[in-house]
A and B are shown apart, each in its own frame.
Chain A
Amino acid sequence: MAYSSIVYLLPFLGAVLLLYNGMPKKYRWCVLLLASYVFYWLNSPSTLVFLLLATAAVYFAGIFLNKIQDGFELSKKALDKEGKKKLRGVVGWQKKAVCACTFLFVFGLLAFLKYYPFFSENINHFLGLFTEKHMLPQLKLIQPLGISYYTLQAAGYIIDVYRGKYRADKHIGKVALFLSFFPQIVEGPIARFDQTAGQLMEGNRTTYKNLTWGAQLILWGLFKKMVVADRANPFVAEVFGNYTENSGAVLLMGGILFTVQIYMEFSGCMDIVIGSAQLFGVDLPKNFARPFFADSVNDFWRRWHITLGAWLRDYVFYSVSLSKGFGKLSKKAKEKLSPFLGALIPSAAALFCVWFCNGIWHGAGWKYLAYGMYYYLIMLLGMLLEPLFAKTAACVHLNRDSGGFHVVRVLRTCVLVVGGMTLFRAESVGAFGEIMLRIFTDFAPGSIVDGTLLHLGIDGWDFIAIAGGCIVVLIVSMIQEKGYSLRETVAGQNIVLRWAVYFALIFAVVIFGAYGPGYDQVAFIYGQF
């Protein structure tokens, strides 16, 4: 049941909304929890057990952490300063042990179910060089729906409790609903417990504003997904599927259109997800902030898949870079090498961990690891060369804050992002190499205008619909980037104008959306992670 399917949007969402509002306020969270488990069961019945296991593990681990902390607070009253310090050390180790066991379990499930086939294949390949015995068995494992998302939410919850950001919740229903809330279970956004759990339990009635604003956002998401992303999909599949037969220019077009497709699809899905949650008065964290206006790769990742970036920043980047080990190393490097390198070492090491995790989070395969390393190298080079860039700019009297230079930076970022997306979509790292080779050695620009593009899965009308959809999204994004809220503006208009906008969107989806004969329903790309 995809979020863009009629089954989800009408019977499922409609029934949940009716049941939710028909129930007394204090039981409404039960409707959401039941709906979430029904949604999960309908989509992936055999893997529901893993979600339940992860929920139970973090719930009991959280309660245990509370107990350890409470015991410490009680015992420390009777101790002197030295005794408190000693006890704090013991308690610290106990809490670390609870976290380690919980991570071993939840990340162990993720590692085994998602990465075992990749590891066993590669280890067997390596062992095969020496012997044919002791091979790891090849297992056909089902990857549980949304495991990459709910595992991060679960781990974030435990880390926050460990760090003392908040106490673990005693209400198992609250923890269960936080981890399983149906709009976000498949593709995120990856929320924090203190962001959404309270709202989910409030059980506020659906207001007119929530209903209309939620529906607007769902409609906007459908527009992006069905008019642009799903129309671009056959072209992208054809170009990347037969990359050895296409010219460099066509492959470049494929890379650009895939970038457009994945943005429209993922951000469109987030609009549907956030809109669905809004119907129940729940504000989910945003996952996109007009990423193609970014003027650096770092800025791009602050605007693209925001909640994953924030998770990795808070729980991986700061944990590594601010660790005592790197603190000491940095101090030594400052004294013996240079202050610049001393300051750089913890960031560079932590950044490596972040991009390693980001890469493998996206999938079990070398190309995903290469994808992470691609961004790591760009960011590392940016950090290393920044003093040189600043000196060069000063020498040639280049104003790095000028509008013209900003445009150049935005375009440079877009080129780097298309490169990364091409690697992401390519069959393998080898295929990406071949695609790049063709772009640089067999570009054949004529293939863009000689009609070749019209024989690659989509026709001229599809291109017009994609271009039209992109222009609409670009205009809306430009307005938002200027700081205006288009939704507030539309909501402030009279009923005729307001509904004219809504109907225009509905008709655009119905008329220009990719569905019916000739179009397969396209699964959300990020739902497969």
Chain B
Amino acid sequence: MEELLTILENLKPGVDFAAQTDLIEDHILDSMSVVMLVGELNDEFDIEITPVDVVPENFKTVDAIYAMIQRLSDD
């Protein structure tokens, strides 16, 4: 979780990610930042996030992103 928060804070400095309830609806993560985030997550966690995984439910909150990482790591 710590690594994830560091990646997010480097991507969008100044945002309190842990307190956000909808990163997509609130336009904190747009499609560009999602692509940049996916690149970072793939490298950091050695996973492969595909277009199928890029749905709002998986990027809505920090917890949702973390859950997706764990799910893909298990696969």
Binding site for B on A (CB under 8 A): 163-165, 298-299, 302, 313-314, 317-319, 321-322, 327, 330-331, 342-344, 346-347, 350-351, 383
- How far apart sit A344 and B39, CA to CA, in the bound complex (Å)? 10
- How far apart sit A255 and B21, CA to CA, in the bound complex (Å)? 41
Tell me which of A163, A302, A322 contacts B35 (CB under 8 A).
A322
Q: List 10 A-B contacts (CB under 8 A).
A: A298-B32, A302-B27, A317-B35, A318-B35, A322-B49, A322-B51, A331-B39, A344-B36, A347-B32, A347-B35
Known: A327-B42, A347-B35. 13 other contacts (CB 8 A): A163-B52, A165-B52, A302-B27, A317-B31, A318-B35, A321-B35, A322-B49, A322-B50, A322-B51, A343-B39, A343-B40, A344-B36, A383-B32
- How far apart sit A350 and B32, CA to CA, in the bound complex (Å)? 10
Q: Is B54 positioned at the interface, with any CB of A under 8 Å from its CB?
A: yes
Does B51 lie within 8 Å of A347, measured CB to CB?
A: no
Residues 29-60 (chain B) with a chain A CB within 8 angstroms: 30-32, 35-36, 38-40, 42-43, 49-52, 54
- How far apart sit A321 and B38, CA to CA, in the bound complex (Å)? 10
3 pairs of A and B residues whose beta carbons are closest in the complex: A318-B51, A343-B36, A321-B35
| Residues of chain B contacted by A313 (CB below 8 angstroms) | 31
With both beta carbons as reference points, the residue of chain B lying nearest to A165 in the complex is identified as B52
Tell me which of A318, A330, A343, A344 contacts B54 (CB under 8 A).
A318
- How far apart sit A318 and B40, CA to CA, in the bound complex (Å)? 15
Q: How far is the CB of B52 from chain A (nearest CB, A)?
A: 4
| Residues of chain B contacted by A347 (CB below 8 angstroms) | 32, 35-36
Q: How many residues of B contact A (CB 8 A)?
A: 16
Which of B27, B36, B38, B39 is most buried by chain A, counting CB atoms within 10 A of its CB? Answer: B39
Contact mask B7-39 → A, CB, 8 Å, 1/0? 000000000000000000001001110011011
| Residues of chain B contacted by A317 (CB below 8 angstroms) | 31, 35
| Residues of chain B contacted by A298 (CB below 8 angstroms) | 30, 32
Tell me which of B32, B39, B51, B52 contacts A327 (CB under 8 A).
B39
| Residues of chain A contacted by B54 (CB below 8 angstroms) | 314, 318, 322
Does A322 lie within 8 Å of B38, measured CB to CB?
A: yes
| Residues of chain A contacted by B39 (CB below 8 angstroms) | 327, 330-331, 342-343, 346
User: How many A-B pairs fall under 8 Å by CB?
Assistant: 46
Tell me which of B35, B43, B52 contacts A164 (CB under 8 A).
B52
Binding site for A on B (CB under 8 A): 27, 30-32, 35-36, 38-40, 42-43, 49-52, 54
With both beta carbons as reference points, the residue of chain B lying nearest to A340 in the complex is identified as B36
Known: A317-B31, A322-B35, A347-B32. A163 touches B43 (CB 8 A): no
| Residues of chain B contacted by A321 (CB below 8 angstroms) | 35
- How far apart sit A321 and B30, CA to CA, in the bound complex (Å)? 14
Q: How far is the CB of B9 from chain A (nearest CB, A)?
A: 14
Which of A319, A321, A322 is most buried by chain B, counting CB atoms within 10 A of its CB? Answer: A322
- How far apart sit A347 and B51, CA to CA, in the bound complex (Å)? 14
Q: How far is the CB of A168 from chain B (nearest CB, A)?
A: 16
| Residues of chain A contacted by B43 (CB below 8 angstroms) | 331
- How far apart sit A179 and B53, CA to CA, in the bound complex (Å)? 26
Does A163 lie within 8 Å of B51, measured CB to CB?
A: yes
Q: How far is the CB of B15 from chain A (nearest CB, A)?
A: 12
Q: How far is the CB of A336 from chain B (nearest CB, A)?
A: 15
Q: How far is the CB of B26 from chain A (nearest CB, A)?
A: 12
| Residues of chain A contacted by B40 (CB below 8 angstroms) | 343
Q: How far is the CB of B7 from chain A (nearest CB, A)?
A: 11
Q: How far is the CB of A74 from chain B (nearest CB, A)?
A: 21
- How far apart sit A314 and B38, CA to CA, in the bound complex (Å)? 14
- How far apart sit A463 and B18, CA to CA, in the bound complex (Å)? 52
| Residues of chain B contacted by A344 (CB below 8 angstroms) | 36
With both beta carbons as reference points, the residue of chain A lying nearest to B36 in the complex is identified as A343
With both beta carbons as reference points, the residue of chain A lying nearest to B34 in the complex is identified as A318
Does B42 lie within 8 Å of A346, measured CB to CB?
A: no
With both beta carbons as reference points, the residue of chain B lying nearest to A323 in the complex is identified as B51
| Residues of chain A contacted by B50 (CB below 8 angstroms) | 163, 322
- How far apart sit A222 and B31, CA to CA, in the bound complex (Å)? 34
Q: How far is the CB of B23 from chain A (nearest CB, A)?
A: 15
| Residues of chain A contacted by B38 (CB below 8 angstroms) | 322
Does A350 lie within 8 Å of B35, measured CB to CB?
A: yes
Q: How far is the CB of A413 from chain B (nearest CB, A)?
A: 14
| Residues of chain A contacted by B52 (CB below 8 angstroms) | 163-165
- How far apart sit A299 and B32, CA to CA, in the bound complex (Å)? 12
| Residues of chain A contacted by B51 (CB below 8 angstroms) | 163, 314, 318-319, 322
- How far apart sit A330 and B50, CA to CA, in the bound complex (Å)? 15
Q: How far is the CB of A330 from chain B (nearest CB, A)?
A: 5
| Residues of chain B contacted by A343 (CB below 8 angstroms) | 35-36, 39-40
| Residues of chain B contacted by A330 (CB below 8 angstroms) | 39
- How far apart sit A326 and B11, CA to CA, in the bound complex (Å)? 19
| Residues of chain A contacted by B32 (CB below 8 angstroms) | 298, 347, 351, 383
| Residues of chain B contacted by A322 (CB below 8 angstroms) | 35, 38, 49-51, 54
Q: How far is the CB of B53 from chain A (nearest CB, A)?
A: 9
- How far apart sit A331 and B50, CA to CA, in the bound complex (Å)? 16
Q: How far is the CB of B59 from chain A (nearest CB, A)?
A: 12
With both beta carbons as reference points, the residue of chain A lying nearest to B35 in the complex is identified as A321
- How far apart sit A193 and B67, CA to CA, in the bound complex (Å)? 27
With both beta carbons as reference points, the residue of chain A lying nearest to B38 in the complex is identified as A322
| Residues of chain A contacted by B31 (CB below 8 angstroms) | 313, 317-318
| Residues of chain B contacted by A302 (CB below 8 angstroms) | 27, 30
- How far apart sit A299 and B27, CA to CA, in the bound complex (Å)? 9
- How far apart sit A372 and B57, CA to CA, in the bound complex (Å)? 30
Q: How far is the CB of A406 from chain B (nearest CB, A)?
A: 13
